[in-house]
Amino acid sequence: MPPTKAPRGLNDRRRQMMAAAVADIIRGGLEDGAPSKFAFEAPIRQAIRSRLCLRGKLWSEADLIAGDVVARGLALVGAVRPTWAEGQPDYVQLGAGAQIERTRCVRCHKPLPGEHTKFCGTLCAKAYHMRLARLHNFNDERAYDTAARLS
């Protein structure tokens, strides 16, 4: 087995520079309508970890470094993790954790039948979730591509 070249280390200064770039990606995402400062946490961490692995770092070491860089980036934008209740899709800021009482389908806006609480049926539910998944994938790929150029 040929000897592998030791990967370039990421000192504190380099991590801080990458964290500043991560903060820029997060701010850009917010300007483009991302729902929170944490929206691109996973694809950014994945991109940085992937690049470090390709440069010879062990996955576990690369993941720790990527996690540290992303945590620093989130701190730079003042990100504070929400409580579990605040993280739920139906949470609104009106009052203390008030929830929206829906009477109409989220997708087609027809009155909700019987016990349904969000969609009029499985067709609307599936179409809605597929559209959301496509949107998330598009935004995640953009964040990933930008973060992959950092490391």
CA angle 66, 67, 73 (to 5 degrees): 90
Q: Which is nearer to Zn ion, 53 or 112 (CB)?
A: 112
Distance CA 28, CA 74 (A): 13
Q: Which is nearer to Zn ion, 70 or 105 (CB)?
A: 105
In which region does residue 84 sit, left (phi positive, over 0), alpha (psi from -120 to 50) or beta (all else)? alpha
Quick note: the x/- pattern for Zn ion over 109-148, rule CB under 5 A, is -----------x---x------------------------
Select 66 or 120, whichever has its Cβ closest to Zn ion.
120
Beta-carbon count within 10 A of 23 CB: 20
Q: How many residues bind Zn ion (CB under 5 A)?
A: 5
By CB under 5 A, is residue 108 in contact with Zn ion? yes
Using DSSP's 3-state secondary structure scheme, residue 134 falls into helix
Question: Position 138: which residue type?
Answer: F
Q: Which is nearer to Zn ion, 54 or 130 (CB)?
A: 130
Q: Which residues bind Zn ion (CB under 5 A)?
A: 105, 107-108, 120, 124
